[in-house]
Structure 1
């Protein structure tokens, strides 16, 4: 929905607002006293579970692993654990955070349609639906690997898009990304901030996302809602993203405000998204409604937010078919992201696909994945020691740190800008006509700039 202060007498959605205050408190089942753990709260998204202990024993953890992990983690309650804790591979998926950033490109055809569209309000319908479409993938309960400093991810062969992401900072963890086709450019600086709450973690997207539609040069800014991961250790892990998503047309002042409803008692409201497209005078023009795990629809409305006569809801996006019973809850597009079929010719040695820990986990070898993860982390520490001993600062290769610092709802953010060098690099490779290409799968992972790790 639109901003609460603007929703008085808005008609179509005003009756919904009273139900939005039903928060997940009603479905909490504390296991304090039952299991002997302090700070643990098990939340069942379906509600109605009277046996808290039985619910707490569910999930992916073995009892002994769960108790051991809790002993290690409980001291971090209230802390930002983004990069301060070494986590077991049992909770990981075979993908890095850079690859997860690329999942936003699955339904990029919506940005193509926005660029082709002349109606300024429908542009926001298309672009906000694009922003919502990734939340089905974001509900996965597995953690992606933290990228090594200097790590990259490249993707081609999807909708004419070239996508590149690079890990530009280790402390704090920050990534930068750029994607482009004939219709749009996409630029993001991402810095996640977390708060560990015992059996859950709040994730705050301290980032800036900008989309430029090429035909008219329209620039769009996206502010997503925060995310909460419930039942990390005890119970079945699940994800919710309650709050507002705001996309603003910085060129015209128009905006769309969409409200992600919190999961209520017995799952009421879970997945539901409602809101309006407003003009620059903050008057509602189009209502939007749907579920972030299914589809989104729109309908023209009057100044009170009521649907216009002789109009009906029109679907703008729906979820593509997904694999059944996939081990990591992957979509078909997520599998494409991991595939070398989406890799360009002469893949960068710093690419996430080449990580030995990621590949071992994909092959189902948790023991090797854990050992390789520890090895990569130690090599990263060694590179840092070498770099600091030689008096060097890490410098990203494909993105430049600007002097711009932008405020976000969760803190200030330093902005990295795509420097265009990757485009030049890729043009040089594609125009070389060289026939000495090596099998990309045989390339050794190497994101390091200094020391005996070598260079890219």
Structure 2
């Protein structure tokens, strides 16, 4: 009996430790992990509940075994106590009895706790099951409601189009994707709303205001900021004061101020893209109906629209003041995107675009498409005022079903010749929302860091993503400019579609810790100064793809440009003229011509080398850009295409014999 009891006790211990209890702990932790994301479907829900029920049965079995063997142990001890044994053995038996009594008390306590746990678990498991079932029913109901809303939306749109007073060239229809301005209308964000948390290691700040009764909320760099107050003090540097108030003088060369109105073509975006979820956007064959009559090279050139900020920055004696203007310039490039939800044309490999505006803008710019997969463009611009800018941007884009994410990859370089200040930064992520239901609208999000590699000054800029549930203003941008020692000098605030301001910091001090234990920095600042303000759109812009004054001139025919220039692209020209059917036919011809050229280059693969993979194709493509060459960037330690010269000399001689025939 003694041997049998020991074996059974060992079996119970083994079963409870390695079996039911460990499994229960494992399942419990796994259940916690799944609580944040509800089961995908009903079968998964039932499977989870079944596993929970099995583990509860295991625990109940363990409870019964402990009670059974505990009672058997007590009976054995009582039998030993009734036997006649020597006194010495009696003392030892007394000690065993005392230990057995302690074991009985502990076991009873554990058994009672297990019983209570079982009762609670059974009660709450039923509650959880009902709650999960309710959430599943609500989810199904929500999906049905969204589907009904989509059908009602299409019906209302058709009824609205056929109703009296509908203009011949509607500019704000849902199908054409007019931008929803959250300041004037309610946002139609749905369950796919994305939330971006500030980085954990960021420095939060609070700026203190005393001159105004309006409370402003501000965020800087990668941080979360609180209420902003402003104190009265002296003015900021004259270079920053009124930096955006640059007169837009008359041009010696008269540029066009309008293009043909956009035709009223009705096309269902979802019907084309529903089978392309998760694919690279550049690989999806898209009709020109979703384009605007500009190429990606021309859109890249639009970044220079507010070049006067850099012209102003040349005269800054302080590097941190210059950083403020550079930061405003980096934000200003997004102002052209607020209503521009249409897709620019993907440039042909070897396509170029020049902007020769030395007389009126004081700069020259050249872009070249240096790679097709992935689509990559190199850009170089220089100004007679003493700065140059270059970048290689690769567009990575994904269609996610209800929104499209566009991630520009690559560094932007800006150098001022007189001071030698060299700034480097990267672009933020753009997202086009409401692909399925509602009005299309675009948002910018993410954090960018601008670094002056000569002085090590830095500016942390945060693009706050808009959310229907957020109290923040739409399209908000904030930032902090710091020197090489980490001392903050300026606070930036504004929006990427309207204007940016800067405020000089005169004093900073730590605040008391908040409820979550985080400590913010309190900044006392001078009154805000305007750095940049967006130019108003031209009259009738809503019928001209919401182009700015500069954008209207980018595709204007011009003599003397290279035969690869975007202005000479036939499908783009036909689309601008409103002949979209012919433009789609021409677009297919150009794309097939480009594929044929690629196949010819791939035929020169080395013998025995497989060109079936994308990496091998890219390596053996054999294409070499005309005006840019790949070099190692000493600052970012990345290889990028940099302008090697020769274009403007060829233009002056009108010698374009080296240009490929791509159109």
Superposed pair shares fold, TM > 0.5: yes
Q: 1:416 aligns with which of 608, 633, 641?
A: 641
CA distance in 1, matches of 2:662, 2:500: 46
* Closer, same or farther: CA 187–174 of 1 in aligned 2, 3 Å: same
Q: What is the aligned partner in structure 1 of residue 442 from structure 2?
A: 239
C-alpha contact (below 8 Å) 1:148/1:447 kept by paired residues: no
Q: What is the aligned partner in structure 1 of residue 74 from structure 2?
A: none
Q: Deviations over 1:313-337 (max 9, x none)?
A: 1101111121144220111111121
Q: What is the aligned partner in structure 2 of residue 256 from structure 1?
A: 459
Q: 1:298 aligns with which of 480, 502, 514?
A: 502
1:53-92 matches, cutoff 5 A: 62=266, 65-66=267-268, 69-81=269-281, 83-92=282-291
* Closer, same or farther: CA 34–360 of 1 in aligned 2, 3 Å: farther
Q: What is the aligned partner in structure 2 of residue 6 from structure 1?
A: none
Q: 1:148 aligns with which of 333, 336, 348?
A: 348
CA distance in 2, matches of 1:209, 1:248: 11
Q: What is the aligned partner in structure 2 of residue 315 from structure 1?
A: 530
C-alpha contact (below 8 Å) 2:353/2:566 kept by paired residues: yes
SS in 1 for 2:536: coil
C-alpha contact (below 8 Å) 2:189/2:468 kept by paired residues: no
1:197-212 matches, cutoff 5 A: 197-212=400-415
Q: What is the aligned partner in structure 2 of residue 361 from structure 1?
A: 575
Higher strand share: 1
1:395-414 matches, cutoff 5 A: 395-403=624-632, 414=639
Question: Structure 1 residue 138 and structure 2 residue 337: aligned?
Answer: yes
CA distance in 2, matches of 1:339, 1:329: 16
C-alpha contact (below 8 Å) 2:368/2:377 kept by paired residues: yes
1:2-81 matches, cutoff 5 A: 32-34=143-145, 36=147, 45=182, 46-47=185-186, 62=266, 65-66=267-268, 69-81=269-281
* Closer, same or farther: CA 222–48 of 1 in aligned 2, 3 Å: closer
SS in 2 for 1:377: helix
Q: Deviations over 1:99-128 (max 9, x none)?
A: 000001111111111122111111111111
Shift of residue 177 of structure 1? 0.4
C-alpha contact (below 8 Å) 2:632/2:638 kept by paired residues: no
- Any unmatched runs of 5+ in structure 2? 1-140, 149-173, 192-263, 510-520, 606-620
CA distance in 2, matches of 1:105, 1:155: 10
Question: Structure 1 residue 339 and structure 2 residue 564: aligned?
Answer: no
SS in 1 for 2:508: coil
Q: What is the aligned partner in structure 1 of residue 482 from structure 2?
A: 278
CA distance in 2, matches of 1:296, 1:225: 17
SS in 2 for 1:368: helix
User: When the two structures are superposed, what TM-score results if normalisation uses the length of structure 1?
Assistant: 0.77
Shift of residue 371 of structure 1? 1.0
CA distance in 2, matches of 1:242, 1:51: 17
* Closer, same or farther: CA 195–365 of 1 in aligned 2, 3 Å: same
Q: 2:308 aligns with which of 87, 106, 109?
A: 109
C-alpha contact (below 8 Å) 2:402/2:436 kept by paired residues: yes
Question: Structure 1 residue 349 and structure 2 residue 552: aligned?
Answer: no
C-alpha contact (below 8 Å) 2:414/2:422 kept by paired residues: yes
Q: Deviations over 1:179-230 (max 9, x none)?
A: 0012111100010111211021111111111001111111100122211111
- Any unmatched runs of 5+ in structure 1? 1-29, 53-59, 433-442
CA distance in 1, matches of 2:662, 2:401: 40
Q: Larger RCO: Structure 1 or Structure 2 (Cα < 8 Å, ≥ 6 residues apart)?
A: 1
SS in 1 for 2:479: strand
1:150-169 matches, cutoff 5 A: 150-157=350-357, 158-169=360-371
C-alpha contact (below 8 Å) 1:406/1:414 kept by paired residues: no
Q: What is the aligned partner in structure 2 of residue 171 from structure 1?
A: 373
Taking only aligned residues, the RMSD between alpha carbons, in angstroms, comes to 3.2
SS in 2 for 1:171: coil
SS in 2 for 1:32: helix
* Closer, same or farther: CA 48–323 of 1 in aligned 2, 3 Å: closer
CA distance in 1, matches of 2:497, 2:449: 19
CA distance in 2, matches of 1:242, 1:50: 15
CA distance in 2, matches of 1:282, 1:243: 22
Shift of residue 235 of structure 1? 2.3
CA distance in 1, matches of 2:345, 2:484: 41
Q: 2:650 aligns with which of 415, 425, 430?
A: 425
